[in-house]
Amino acid sequence: MPLLKGEDPLDIHRLWYKLYRYSEWYGRRGLAIYVLSAIDTVLWDLAGKYFHVPVYKLLGGKFRDKIRVYASLIFDMDDPESSGKEGKKYVDQGYTAVKYGWGWTREKAFGLNAEKDEEVVRVIREILGPKIDLMIDVGRMVNWSLPYAAKMAERLKKYDIYWLEEPLPQDAIDSYVELTREADVWIAAGEGEYTRWGFKDWITRHAVDVLQPDVSKAGGLSEVKKITELADMWNMTVVPHGFSTAINVAANLQLVATMPNASLLDFRGAGWPQDRFFEPFQNLDWLYFYNFHQMCLNNLVDLHS
């Protein structure tokens, strides 16, 4: 990339601003920030390799030795019992939290029929039992209105939902503020937002209970670290989004190690195509990620593979 040719890769902060300034030609949301996010994360990885330390030490050191993980699963709206049994497999491995979302097709997505949605959640809760934290991700296959989202939050609260994720369109921040204020269940969102400037109103207006920035799209480790610190000033819980590649999971692992306001880590588990990158994670206790030093980003990412 010509913008970085001849630059010192350890000048991560300055290079972030250089790339961000040039991104204005392409927009401050979308592909340009995705690319910036990837470059920034790679630069942190290179710094970790150069100094022979885990990335979290370069981000300020660890705040904790372990983090609770949750499994992210897809709803089977035609067979809720099958969905529940899939989640139960993770519970039997030690998980204490499971998230379900979306659906396999737009035509068979969660969120299209209130009665069916409630029945699916009821069956899953019954299978998982009362002690497991259950999160529901409405996702972006449907667009709920504010009144409908409020009605569904009320309808699902009897199943002790830990949070209701993205029940409204990403840009409906005024509606999120109202829903979060009125709902009796936690509201979560933020995986589709970009940079601290995009997150500022979400945080200062307390638009959600759980903020979910994604390292791979919100500006990389440098920027999401700043976002989490801003959220901490407003006493807001942050659970970084990570339902994607193992590199993103590894980056999130470095991030949450340094965060005072982290409570969970999004981790799909074994059995998906990205598992070829996942070897260091396969033998972990499923209840927690232990020993951040051994799971450091610069031990996972092999730029030559």
* Model pLDDT, residue 251: 87
Task: Give domain limits for the chain.
Answer: 58-300
* Model pLDDT, residue 287: 47
Can you list the residues of the chain whose pLDDT is less than 70? 1, 244, 268-305
Q: What CA dihedral angle connects 293, 297, 300 and 301, to 10 degrees?
A: -160
* Model pLDDT, residue 139: 84
* Model pLDDT, residue 267: 76
Cα 284 from chain centre: 20
C-alpha neighbours within 13 Å on the C-beta side of residue 260: 10
pLDDT digits (tens, 9 = 90+) for 210-241: 999 999 999 999 999 999 999 999 999 999 99
Exposure class string for 128-147: b at 16+ Cβ within 10 A, else e: beeebbbbbbbbbbbebebe
Report the relative pairing of strands 265-266 and 210-211 from DSSP bridges: unpaired
CATH code for the domain defined by 58-300: 3.20.20.120
Give the predicted TM-score (pTM) of the model: 0.89
Exposure class string for 247-277: b at 16+ Cβ within 10 A, else e: bbbbbbbbbbbbbebbebbbbbbeeeeeeeb
Please list the residues that pair with 99 across neighbouring strands. 72, 135
* Model pLDDT, residue 53: 85
* Model pLDDT, residue 107: 84
* Model pLDDT, residue 305: 32
